[in-house]
Homo-oligomer: A and B are copies of this chain.
């Protein structure tokens, strides 16, 4: 809370400056809600502020700056697995932007939406369906209630051809620590007609400064919408032989770089898939022990999944999709079993399902269709909380359905090393991490996403119960060891939780020193999210 006298003074000023009494909350019960985390340790804020407009954000910043009272801005606070709504430091004032949830514009000719930070995936999805039906939104796996802006600023990725959000955003409005408004790209040029269409503007590009950092509060963002393709085909490759993985990765890399597969391609190991669709085998894996291999094999067979499971989509004109399906088929021949699903086939499966309900075969089909449909939708930009279902796996009291991991006390730390899209590197990463997870008693849930034609973002995950201190300790230790191993091996993370950030810094790194100099230039009083990505101390990173 820093100096509590200044904190009290700042609170008084915020109280009188903000229009509504409920825009400020210091109720201990509320603060405790914001202190919940998927991480082993969390921090408790000193107050929550709820701006309703850009002007509110400016007011909040000006007062914070006057009293040198630090702020931690969040969009909707759903930074699952990476620190959630929690600041790196205790007692800070959270600026919760979730009430700034206006969709300011949807353009159905040039395909873009202009949104505030509180706009959720579900909200934009519905608005795009209604107002620009010829376009798709790109959705991430963060769930329907997650903020789009928050995720873009963390450089999360989606699953349509616009899944790289750095390349499909076009400028933002930012409130700086002193309350001034900075607009990036062409947005700051008066009455211009192109800011939403051409992202780079003229002069230096500043957008990059505001992702994974703490240099401003983003109050508006333009995101591009993907023109609905004429045709869409989902594919699933079941891989039964672990030895095929490197060759498969190399084959997929070639298809990604050639544009045959225009969207991110996702590979999940058996545990990653099982965690979403199969009850945890508590009988054979007591707390602190991983599931034994023999049982994993049984579970795979029961669920009809592979050791590795690849999914993705092919989009384009009907002729393109037809042609590219053939190319994929030939490229992965002998490495796994390829299944294509399109709208007609999915509809047929659902119909079949209704007919077979109740019989044993029907149960398995129910699970398969239930498992398929959300991921199928995600590739078309339809938000889903399916990827969150795996987070409660292993909890003694896991809920039937999870839309908020915090309510379920689900602990999970996403370690996300970037790896060359090459089979040899993937093998090396697995050889590196498997023993670490084993030694700490964790199942290793693992996914690889070919984010572009050259690199893979791995998401490596351990699951634990945040109410059990021993599990928290073990998870934290496992994360640290795995993160260190990844850094040492040359696989730094694409995104990081506060716990991991310290490992990113080295003492003589001009990169981090420069970010600190920029921080000092734009936020000399360290008002915004001190310690978030940009290290705190002067030249001592």
List the interface of chain A (C-beta within 8 A of B): 109-112, 155, 161, 166-167, 176, 180-184, 186, 188-194, 196-198, 200-213, 215, 224, 227, 229, 253, 257-260, 262, 316-317, 319-320, 322-324, 326-327, 418-422, 425, 451-455, 457, 487, 489-496, 504, 506, 509-515, 517-518, 520-522, 533-534
Contacts and interface: CB of A to CB of B under 8 A. Distances in A.
B203 A206 contact: no
Number of copies: 2
Contacts of A495: 202
Contacts of A514: 176, 182, 206, 522
A490 B112 CA distance: 18
Nearest to A250: B109
Contacts of A197: 418, 420-421, 452, 454-455
A374 B213 CA distance: 45
Contacts of A455: 194, 197-198
A185 to B, nearest CB: 9
Contact of A506 (B190, B213, B262, B327): B190
Contacts of A496: 202
Residue of A191, A490, A493, A512 with most partner-chain B CB within 10 A: A490
Contacts of A452: 197-198
A209 B209 contact: yes
Given A192-B491, A229-B258, 11 more contacts: A110-B453, A180-B513, A189-B504, A198-B452, A202-B495, A203-B511, A203-B512, A259-B262, A260-B317, A514-B522, A520-B521
19 contacts: A155-B200, A182-B511, A183-B510, A188-B510, A197-B418, A198-B418, A198-B457, A201-B492, A202-B504, A203-B213, A203-B511, A206-B208, A206-B209, A227-B453, A319-B319, A320-B320, A320-B323, A514-B522, A517-B522
A260 B509 CA distance: 44
A188 B324 contact: no
Nearest to A428: B193
Given A203-B212, A494-B200, A511-B183, A420 B110 contact: yes
A109 B489 CA distance: 21
A180 B208 CA distance: 21
Residue of A110, A167, A202 with most partner-chain B CB within 10 A: A202
Give the interface SS of chain A, mostly helix, strand, loop or mixed.
loop
Contacts of A253: 110
Contact of A521 (B186, B425, B518): B518
Contacts of A418: 186, 194, 197-198
Contacts of A320: 316, 319-320, 323-324
Contact of A208 (B208, B213, B513, B521): B208
Contact of A323 (B204, B209, B319, B517): B319
Contacts of A229: 258
B202 A209 contact: no
Nearest to A204: B213
Contact of A193 (B196, B257, B425, B512): B425
Given A189-B504, A316-B259, A492-B192, A451 B205 contact: no
Contacts of A421: 110, 197
A419 B521 CA distance: 33
A129 B137 CA distance: 39
A182 B198 CA distance: 28
A494 B202 CA distance: 5
Contacts of A227: 257-258, 453
Contacts of A533: 202-204
Contact of A492 (B186, B316, B323, B511): B186
Contacts of A204: 208-213, 215, 515, 518, 533-534
A515 B518 CA distance: 10
Contacts of A491: 192-194
Given A202-B504, A204-B215, A510-B181, A419 B111 contact: no
Nearest to A327: B317
A196 B493 CA distance: 15
Contacts of A203: 212-213, 504, 511-512, 515, 533-534
B518 A194 contact: no
A257 B111 contact: yes
A450 to B, nearest CB: 11
B205 A209 contact: yes
A188 B505 CA distance: 10
A229 to B, nearest CB: 8
Contacts of A490: 191-194
Given A111-B454, A182-B510, A514-B522, A205 B211 contact: yes
Nearest to A188: B511
Residue of A110, A454, A494, A510 with most partner-chain B CB within 10 A: A454
A421 B259 CA distance: 24
